[in-house]
Amino acid sequence: MSQNRYSFKIRVGVVVFNPHGDLLLVRQNQNPFWVLPGGTLEPGETMADCAVRELQEEANLVVSDPKLLFIADFLVDPTQTPPKQAVDVVFKVKLDSDPSAMVMETTENIDEMAFFGLADVIGLSEKGLLKPALVFERLLTHWQAKFWPQDGLASAYLGAYAR
């Protein structure tokens, strides 16, 4: 057995739209990339509960009805020893609170949080500023087609990717 420790995380991402149809994105850690809001599971927490909690903690937004959209494996750096891997589980939720009540969590991890329209998200994608790209490719496909998987279960597993 190798003495190298293997690092593994389950990360939950949340797709939430405001009443105008704009998508909430977050920029973290002085990084140029935009990501879905979300985070990692707490002990004993379900992935759906994590999605709801993260939006409450990060943005003071009340959401409900989490539906599974995508699952994707993420090899953080396959050349790194020990290797690091994450599983991204992405939910779409219903926004129950007024988005004007959104208050960005004041932490060292979140630099900026904003709602973006479809054209702006496409622009960020074309500039390579959305991570993970595979999740956003699928998200944009559904958003442009105005079709979301029934009950969040169709074609949920996107497969493994490494970047």
Q: Can you tell me the distance from the alpha carbon of 160 to that of 162, in angstroms, rounded to the nearest whole number?
A: 7
What is the average pLDDT across 10-26? 93
pLDDT of residue 33: 93
- The dihedral built from the CA positions of residue 99, 153, 49 and 6, taken in this order, carries a sign that is negative
Question: 12 pLDDT band (50/70/90 cuts)?
Answer: very high
Q: Is the separation of the CB atoms in 21 and 117 below 8 Å?
A: yes
Taking the mean position of all CA atoms in its chain, how far away is CA 51? Answer: 9
Domains assigned to the chain: 7-97+107-147 (3.90.79.10)
pLDDT of residue 123: 96
Percent of the chain with pLDDT over 70: 83
pLDDT of residue 105: 59
Q: Is the pLDDT of residue 3 over 70?
A: no
Instruction: Determine the angle formed by the axes of helices 118-126 and 133-145, rounding to 10 degrees.
Output: 150
Per-residue model confidence as pLDDT tens digits over 37-73: 999 989 989 899 999 999 988 888 899 988 888 888 8
What is the average pLDDT across 129-144? 87
Per-residue model confidence as pLDDT tens digits over 63-99: 998 888 888 887 777 777 777 888 889 999 989 888 7
pLDDT of residue 151: 47
- How many residues are given for the chain? 163
Q: Can you tell me the distance from the alpha carbon of 50 to that of 39, in angstroms, rounded to the nearest whole number?
A: 8
Which tokens hold the place of 51? 């999605």
> Can you give the pTM of this predicted structure?
0.83
Mean pLDDT of the chain: 83
